[in-house]
Structures are given as structure tokens and as C-alpha cells.
Structure 1
């Protein structure tokens, strides 16, 4: 993991097209601004974890089986 110190209004550049800027620092809270192309997804880590969990739950069939077991219910 790379650890950097930045002050207010300073930035970090990732690759050719992503800029992360420290917008403000106040009472232990840091506000960051992100500039990235529209096709890049930017999510808070807790939101990404919630999406992964929701997707995992969606793979469980109502009968308690897994999606991989679904083929057993169809004739060849």
C-alpha cells in the first residue's frame, strides 16, 4: 500500500485519467474530490461490499440451492 501525505487543495494522479484532490480537512474528516472518465466506477468501499453481498444472496435459489445447481431442474 502506498501512503501519501497531502494538504488541502493538493492532488494525487492515478494513471493518465484519474485525479484525487483533497478538497477540505476539518475535525478529523477529509473531503476528497475525484475526476475520472465516465466509464470508471468510483464507489465507497462499504458500498462495494454491500453490492458483493447482495449479488451473492441473489445467487441462492429460494429452495436453498445454488445457481450452479439450477441445471438439475431442467431436462436435457
Structure 2
């Protein structure tokens, strides 16, 4: 993991297209501004993990439904 120190209004760049700026510092929280192309999804980690879990559950259900469908056609 790369660890960087930034002050208020300072930024980091990720590649040519993504810039992350420290917008505010309040107690133990920081506010980040993220400037990135629209085609890049940006989520808080807990939201990302929930989306991933839902997608995996949906993919598993799709396989089960497909198996049931193919079994019903064979009969």
C-alpha cells in the first residue's frame, strides 16, 4: 500500500484521468473530492462490497434457473 500525506486543498493524481483532492478535515474525518471520467465507477468500499455480493448472488441464481430450464426441456 502506498501511503501519502496531503494537506487541505492538496491533491494526488492516479494516471492521467483521476485526481483526488483533500476538500476538508473535520476531527477524525476527511472529505475527499474525486475528479474522474464518468465511465469510472466510484463507491465507498462498503457499498462496493454490497454491490459485489448482490451480483454474485444474482449470478448464482441465474445458473440455478438455467439448470432448471434446461432440465425441463430435456424431459
TM-score under structure 2 length normalisation: 0.82
Residue 21, structure 1, aligned to residue 17, structure 2? no
* Structure 2 gap segments, 5+ residues each: none
Distance in 2 of aligned mates of 1:17 and 1:4: 19
Structure holding more helix per residue: 2
Distance in 2 of aligned mates of 1:69 and 1:19: 43
Q: What do you get for the CA RMSD once the two structures are aligned?
A: 2.0
* Structure 1 gap segments, 5+ residues each: none
Deviations, residues 37-69 of structure 1 (Å, cap 9, x unaligned):
1111111111110011111222344xxxx7168
Paired residues for 1:1-76 under 5 Å: 1-61=1-61, 67=63, 70-71=66-67, 73-74=69-70, 75=73
TM-score under structure 1 length normalisation: 0.81
